[in-house]
């Protein structure tokens, strides 16, 4: 790997030890906290072999999203080493890998620097770095030959498959944070996604607001329900006949915003019989409740009432 060393590596002196920050409950770290000892020209290097000196995994233990990339370089003056984080997957043949994701260019300079990224990753995927013509790709020289970097000239695009050259004793000075992504929206559920219950939202889970109205209609009741979010709405009704509770409705229907949900509710026999005995100048009141549960499990309700006229 000596051929990658450029004048830039002369600036990488006075390395400091890095203490990794503790990972939060469900997120995990992968990569290598070694300190950069050199930088090569325009190469892409994938971490494919792990030495005993590296306590971190180099393959993704689970699927999720990479949300942070932390680089360790010596402190002090530096010309800057712009890096791209790459996610790659074995393409089957020996040393053959497909790039499946990448970050934007991260302006790495010196010392310990952490960047926000958002790169989805599948279980078993590998990470790598790409360094451009300015500065080159950062790497650590390791005495442990089990640290293996797979090297390719240039900047392979996402989706491209190539055969890389394995180099022993080569590691990368990057540690990434892998967060779960339960709703698979490509946003890490701990720091990037405020609604991990729904792929449709990355901000706070939207609360469903309901508005309902009920009216008597030729022997049945029509309940109209408007909603602020697409939601499964349930309509139930309740009244009292001769001291006994009579229940109505109970159907569920998907209602979309901007379009009223129409629930046609039959009048049950007990209520129909009571209305038949009631003069047309009198009414029986029925209360309806429209309810919906949002993606975060919160239930919203709205009530409406209808007066049914006696039919005697």
| Residue of 185, 190, 229, 294 that binds Ca ion (CB under 5 A) | 185
Q: At CA 75, angle to CA 12 and CA 2, rounded to 5?
A: 15
- Taking the CA atoms of residue 154, residue 160, residue 166 and residue 172 in that order, the dihedral angle to the nearest 10 degrees is 70
Judged by CB under 5 A, the stretch of 147-155, 181-189, 218-226, 295-303 that binds Ca ion is 181-189
In angstroms, what is the minimal distance from the CB of 149 to Ca ion?
A: 31
For residues 64 and 177, give the distance between their C-alpha atoms in angstroms, rounded to a whole number: 10
What Cα–Cα distance (Å) separates residue 17 from each residue in 53, 82, 141, 195? 13, 22, 15, 37
Tell me which stretch binds Ca ion (CB under 5 A): 4-12, 84-92, 159-167, 184-192: 184-192
Please identify which residue in 102, 179, 183, 229 interacts with Ca ion, judged by CB under 5 A: 183
Task: Report which DSSP code applies to 269.
Answer: H
Site for Ca ion in 16-35 (CB under 5 A): none
186 near 67, Cβ under 8 Å?
Answer: no
3-state secondary structure of 295: coil
**Spatial distance between the Cα atoms of 258 and 261, rounded to a whole number of angstroms:** 10
Segment interacting with Ca ion (CB under 5 A) among 31-39, 175-183, 211-219, 276-284? 175-183
* Residue 119 Cβ vs Ca ion, minimum distance, rounded to whole Å: 13
Tokens of 271: 């209520």
Binder of Ca ion out of 102, 181, 294, 302 (CB under 5 A)? 181
Residue 269 tokens, joined: 């026999």
Contact call for residue 155 and Ca ion (CB under 5 A) = no
Residue number, 155 or 185, with CB nearest to Ca ion: 185
- Report, in Å, the least distance between residue 192 CB and Ca ion: 7
Q: How far is the CB of 28 from Ca ion (least distance, A)?
A: 16
Q: Does 187 bind Ca ion (CB under 5 A)?
A: yes
229 makes contact with Ca ion (CB under 5 A): no
Residue 179 binds Ca ion (CB under 5 A): no
How distant is the alpha carbon of residue 263 from its chain centre? 35
The reply on whether position 294 binds Ca ion by CB under 5 A is no
The reply to whether 139 sits near Ca ion by the rule CB under 5 A is no
Token pair in block for residue 14: 């006075």
Residue 189 interacts with Ca ion (CB under 5 A)? Answer: yes
Neighbouring residues of 201: CB distance < 8 A, sequence distance ≥ 6: 194, 195, 295
Indicate the residue whose CB is closest to Ca ion. Answer: 193
CB 81 within 8 A of CB 131: yes
- Interacting stretch for Ca ion, rule CB under 5 A, among 111-119, 187-195, 230-238, 240-248? 187-195
Q: What is the DSSP letter of 40?
A: E
In angstroms, give the least distance from the CB of 184 to Ca ion: 7
Beta bridge partners, 88, equal 99, 126
DSSP assignment string, 270-293: HHHHHHHTS-TT-EEEEEEEEEEE
- Segment holding 267, helix H or strand E: none
Of the candidate spans 97-105, 122-130, 137-145, 177-185, the one that interacts with Ca ion by CB under 5 A turns out to be 177-185
Q: Which is nearer to Ca ion, 37 or 196 (CB)?
A: 196
Q: How far is the CB of 228 from Ca ion (least distance, A)?
A: 18
Interface with Ca ion includes 193 (CB under 5 A)? yes
Which residues would be at the binding site for Ca ion (CB under 5 A)?
Answer: 181, 183, 185, 187, 189, 193, 195-196
């Amino acid at each position: 790997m000596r051929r990658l060393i450029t004048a830039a590596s002369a600036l990488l002196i006075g390395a400091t030890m890095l203490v990794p920050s503790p990972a939060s409950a469900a997120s995990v770290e992968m990569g290598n906290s070694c300190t950069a000892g050199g930088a090569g020209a325009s190469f892409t290097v994938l971490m494919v072999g792990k030495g005993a000196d590296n306590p971190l995994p180099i393959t993704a233990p689970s699927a999720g999203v990479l949300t942070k990339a932390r680089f360790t370089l010596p402190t002090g003056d530096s010309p800057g080493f712009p890096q791209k984080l790459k996610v790659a997957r074995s393409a089957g043949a020996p040393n053959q890998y497909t790039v499946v994701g990448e970050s934007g260019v991260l302006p790495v300079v010196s010392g310990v620097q952490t960047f926000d990224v958002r790169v989805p990753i599948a279980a078993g995927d590998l990470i790598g770095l790409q360094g451009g013509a300015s500065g080159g790709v950062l790497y650590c020289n390791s005495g442990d030959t089990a640290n293996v970097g797979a090297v390719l000239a240039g900047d392979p695009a996402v989706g491209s498959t190539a055969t890389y050259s394995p180099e022993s004793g080569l590691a990368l000075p990057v540690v990434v944070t892998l967060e779960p992504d339960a709703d698979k929206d490509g946003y890490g559920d701990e720091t990037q996604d405020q609604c991990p219950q729904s792929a449709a939202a990355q901000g706070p889970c939207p609360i469903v607001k309901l508005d309902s109205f009920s009216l008597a209609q030729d022997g049945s009741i029509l309940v109209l329900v408007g909603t602020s979010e697409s939601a499964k709405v349930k309509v139930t009704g309740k009244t009292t006949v001769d001291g006994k509770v009579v229940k109505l409705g109970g159907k569920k229907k998907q209602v979309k915003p901007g379009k009223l949900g129409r629930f046609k509710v039959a009048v049950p026999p007990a209520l129909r019989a009571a209305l038949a005995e009631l003069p047309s100048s009198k009414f029986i009141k029925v209360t309806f409740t429209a309810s919906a549960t949002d993606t975060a499990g919160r239930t919203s309700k709205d009530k409406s009432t209808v007066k049914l006229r006696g039919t005697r």
